[in-house]
Structure 1
Amino acid sequence: MSSIPALLRDRIKATPDAEAYRHPAGTGWESLTWAQVGERVRPLALGLAELGASAEARVSILCSTRLEWVLTDLAVLSTGAATTTIYPSNTAAECAYVINDSGSTLVIAENDDQVAKLASVRKDLPGVRHVVVIDGTASEDGWVVPIDQVRAEGDYDAMIDVIKPEDLATLIYTSGTTGRPKGVELTHDNWLYAADAVRKIDLIGPDDLHFLWLPLSHSFGKLLEVVMIDIGVPTAIDGRLDKIAENLGELRPTFMAAAPRIFEKIHNTVAATVIREGGAKLRIFNWAKRTGIRVSRARQRGAALPLTTRLEYALADRLVFAKLRGRFGGRIRYFISGAAPLSQDVAEFFDGAGLTILEGYGLTESSAGSFLTRPDSVRLGTVGPPLPGTEVRIAEDGEILIGGRGIMRGYHGLAEETAETLEDGWLHTGDIGELDEAGRLRITDRKKELIKTSGGKYVAPTYLEGRIKAACPYLSHVFVHGDKRNFCTALVTLDMEVVRPWAAAEGLPDDPEKLREHPRMREEVGRAVKQVNEGLASYETIKEFAILANDFTVETGELTPSLKIKRKVVEEHYGQTLDAFYTNANVV
């Protein structure tokens, strides 16, 4: 296979009448077959070519996750141009940086709001010939063109036949938790390898239904797009976060990928609900949870379950777990988690409930998919063995090194950074990890994010953050601090959607500013911190914490678009709070 458009063409020939995509329409959903996808992509690709899209040119897409994102991406690729992805949450200045650094000559924008964002920095976009708008109006000077006017006829097959595997397909700018974004150059062959590797492990098939809400501007979402074309799996697409729960119940998909934050929120919502109800429901839930975790751990060890445990689990399933699975439509075979570490506590809860989360690992620089847990060899806390064709080494300092066809061509226009990251032909991930006896990878932390206390001890902050969030259902984010300090502290934010019903039942204030200092709220967080501390070495324990009035968000710059904490930004924003822990400390 030479390119993604050639892959699509083969899929259309193989299963023209099979469902390809399902998308919201009015109050329901509409479907497109693979043949209909081809009918939408072909004239659009030829129209984009007339506007200047051509071999190795770049076309930026500034759009949320929806059917049109996929169709325009496939059309761009069919011209031989490369798609540059931009998060719709980016500011005008951030959009201008990506567009200019990539050298994009066309931009596809979702709506008039996104066009207005671009128009505000138009003077800084001298290379952009046209903005193609999906839901919007044309400009008088012709700079903005509605997408339904971008259609042409011509030799579509001849256009895609000249695309080579080594040609640039995608420029994805790493959001990064530190530093300026870098454009990761990924070729058609990078994506084709990753899709082929997923197909070889026989995880999904045409009878599945995939629900996609992940940002397609992120490499994880882009990988899923190509995988589904390769295997021919129908995908229901809707990127609205507030619709995830409703869509799961309505669509009844068989699998869904998500960032850990989604699974944490589901876990915390369920836990907070039963805590609020209390009484027999809470006792039954806690018993079922303990039973599920016991079964999960036995299953991971390959141990046989005693008859009494099997009977207990069957009862727990009927009383609790079956109802939980019903919330997701009742057909989920498994979830897939990626983009950030998944708390083992949360993973055990889901696995015990019969909703196994297969954790994966990869970087944008490795086409998103390098490791993935296999359903028949789940070991929670690991991200599974490498995908077929991916090579792995652990450096002397514990850094994970990856090799294979999925590795990027390089960073756009950054030869020095490329050489440093791809030293000796291996991708230096910046993550620390180890391989177990079965070749499964366990990631301990980010190399650059490990905390080194003033006493010389190393602490893995993301591990502690995940444990604390799992121990207290009312928390949205946890930030552990302590680098070059003599002890560790934490900032926590509240998930007000989860907290509000509990606070009302307890007679507590609804205002986050008042709630965060309330003794009852601090007691709940303190209990979780104490629970986690009990299993830690003294130098790892959280000695002090503060509850913040505001959550970390992408808009305020404290989170990346994939919902990872930008540690330096948080330290800058809350420096006085963090410093006060140590100025006022009585801790030795």
Structure 2
Amino acid sequence: MGLHHNSRVRRETLIDFFHDLASAGGEFLVHDDGFRTRTFSYADVGRAAHGFARRLDSAGVVRGDKVVFFSENRPEWIVAFWGCLLRGVVVVPIDYRSSPELLARVARIVSAKALLVGQDVPPIADTAGAPLWRLADLSWTDAVQPPIEPSVAIGRSDVAEIIFTSGATAEPKGVIITHANVLANIVPVEREVLKYRKWGRPLFPLRFLNLLPLSHLFGQAMATFIPPMLPGVVVFMRGYNPGEIVRQIKSRRVSVLVSVPKILDVLREQVGRMGVEAEPVEGSSHAFVRIAGRWWRHRHLHRAFGLKFWAFVAGAAPLDRELEAFWGDRGFAVIQGYGLTETAPIVTLNHPFGTRRGSVGKAIAGVEMKIAADGEILVRGENVTQGYFNADEETARAFEDGWFHTGDVGEIGPDGQLFIRGRKKEMIVTPEGLNVFPEDVERVLNRVPGVRDSAVVGISARSGGDERVHAVLVLDPGARPEEVVRLANPQLADPQKIRMAHAWPEPELPRTEGTRKLKRAALREWVKSGATPHLAAARTDRLHALVAKYA
């Protein structure tokens, strides 16, 4: 029998965690869809999950069957998730901003028995032969007391989810996640939370505004795994308007914002529009002292967000060091970690009161990590997936001697702190054999006046030849690529210097849905296909075709 560090708390499967969640007291989920606000307690979610499990039973959806989730963040997503696990049904989540074609494609791959859809999704013509259930129609009232569970035996090695990768490559890969994988992540976090929970009681309930998609494992962790440990309240809102985000944080007395790093960047711009800035101050070696001292200096900014708000949790994509410093210098805790879908998802995590600038923290308990000879980060532990769905060759390529190859390049400091350099496959190797990480060049480019966004790719002068640095830029009106290069190159080392810059003809660079990662493969093909620094807008049809190819 698997037990938590506290022998009174059983943690054999996620169902044990659910029983604790369902029996917790107080408010759990708040949903503001822009028209009305709905609030549900932990008990409400527990009862509704049992009711949904019975609906699956009645529909003949049995243990091991797959159900695809295609919905925006909403309380019914959480209910259906737990209802599926109670029944032994495998959850297959897809970001709701993905295309209906990808939905149908994945539904066929897994032979889905049902599609659960939200309200903010495009029309679905092709359901791959599966019935379509609308989450908005999920009942909160048909659960009886006491709850009656379907008689299904669930084990640690049972598959809980199959999560398909974000779509930066042409062929989606389904990552198999078991109950044991997720527990290996949340039990160490729970152990740390319990150490500090008594000190946080005067601040309870902690409220989390969760903008990470529930189709992402870290979004799930910060919605239905970590908040119940406190217990906390999770707020879902519609859209990503920065003014509305600030309003939600203040009016709902939110303590923690959970989002992709891009939201922190958007909020930085919003702060400038709010006119509540103050001059940044010098750093401190201790996070708590730094936060407390700077809170007072920037108290007007803190009042704008509400006095209960104190932390950003950034996940799903790399966080720029300057963006981290911006918020840290103003008295907010900025917490980030490192992980992948294949690691369910956490590998390392920064402690809220022990963060280090530029670091993604130390490996959580039970996770082993090392750096390969070529700089790649290798990971092993119970949190690591057993492989990819129906893809034995892909699985074999991802593992070597029991170590999972992350595809990321990094360094481990003397105290165990991990620093990410970039993606191995995106690293540019110059003719001199020197390595250039696109993120390092992009940080410089994004500081140049007139640059709204940038992406750096390596382009070979000949087939199979060594690469040179090319930049793709989203520019303000009047800004010129040549001038950007002139200002950026003196700040770059010789191997990093930009050989050519290209003006992207649309308002935003192509990124994956949900995690907002750059689609570098599409950008590289666009440059290679003949992009010029002054590309005409007439070529956007071809541009869209290239982006779609790598979607």
Distance 1:422 1:176, change over 3 A: farther
Distance 1:72 1:239, change over 3 A: farther
Matched residue, 1:295 = 283
Q: CA deviation at 1:229?
A: 3.3
Q: Are 1:550 and 2:551 matched, yes or no?
A: no
CA shift digits 1:453-477 (9 cap, x unpaired): 23432110023223433x2586543
Distance 1:350 1:149, change over 3 A: closer
For the Cα contact (< 8 Å) 1:177–1:560, is it kept in 2?
no
Matched residue, 1:378 = 355
Matched residue, 1:420 = 397
Q: Are 1:159 and 2:135 matched, yes or no?
A: no
Matched residue, 1:240 = 239
Q: CA deviation at 1:542?
A: 2.7
Matched residue, 2:206 = 208
Code of the residue aligned with 1:260 in structure 2: it is P
1-structure distance, mates of 2:299, 2:166: 38
Secondary structure in 1 aligned to 2:362? coil
Secondary structure in 2 aligned to 1:209? strand
1-structure distance, mates of 2:54, 2:394: 36
Q: CA deviation at 1:161?
A: 6.0
Code of the residue aligned with 2:109 in structure 1: it is D
Q: CA deviation at 1:347?
A: 1.0
Question: Of 472, 492, 500, which residue of structure 2 is paired with 1:491?
Answer: 472
For the Cα contact (< 8 Å) 2:33–2:237, is it kept in 1?
no
Question: Of 358, 365, 368, which residue of structure 2 is paired with 1:391?
Answer: 368
Q: CA deviation at 1:434?
A: 1.0
For the Cα contact (< 8 Å) 2:87–2:152, is it kept in 1?
no
Secondary structure in 1 aligned to 2:346? coil
For the Cα contact (< 8 Å) 1:341–1:462, is it kept in 2?
no
2-structure distance, mates of 1:473, 1:353: 23
Secondary structure in 2 aligned to 1:198? helix
CA shift digits 1:284-325 (9 cap, x unpaired): 84xx12x2xx224x447x9x99xxxx9xx96x7656x22222
Matched residue, 2:314 = 337
Matched residue, 2:254 = 253
2-structure distance, mates of 1:155, 1:401: 47
Code of the residue aligned with 1:493 in structure 2: it is V
For the Cα contact (< 8 Å) 1:269–1:473, is it kept in 2?
no
Matched residue, 1:141 = none
CA shift digits 1:375-409 (9 cap, x unpaired): 33321111010111111111111111111121112
For the Cα contact (< 8 Å) 1:559–1:565, is it kept in 2?
yes
Q: Where does structure 2 lack aligned partners over 5 or more consecutive residues? A: 1-10, 462-466, 535-551
2-structure distance, mates of 1:112, 1:131: 15
Question: Of 64, 68, 73, which residue of structure 1 is paired with 2:72?
Answer: 64
**TM-score normalised according to structure 2 size:** 0.84
More helix by share: 1
Sequence identity (%): 25
2-structure distance, mates of 1:467, 1:335: 24
2-structure distance, mates of 1:455, 1:88: 44
Aligned length: 509
Q: CA deviation at 1:532?
A: 5.1
1-structure distance, mates of 2:449, 2:138: 45
Code of the residue aligned with 2:205 in structure 1: it is D
1-structure distance, mates of 2:431, 2:169: 22
Q: CA deviation at 1:479?
A: 0.7
Q: Which moved more, 1:322-331 or 1:168-177?
A: 322-331
Code of the residue aligned with 1:169 in structure 2: it is A
Matched residue, 1:584 = none
For the Cα contact (< 8 Å) 1:65–1:216, is it kept in 2?
yes
Q: Where does structure 1 lack aligned partners over 5 or more consecutive residues? A: 136-145, 500-514, 582-588
Q: Are 1:436 and 2:427 matched, yes or no?
A: no
1-structure distance, mates of 2:427, 2:263: 24
Secondary structure in 2 aligned to 1:489? strand
CA shift digits 1:214-239 (9 cap, x unpaired): 11111221222222234432211225
**TM-score normalised according to structure 1 size:** 0.79
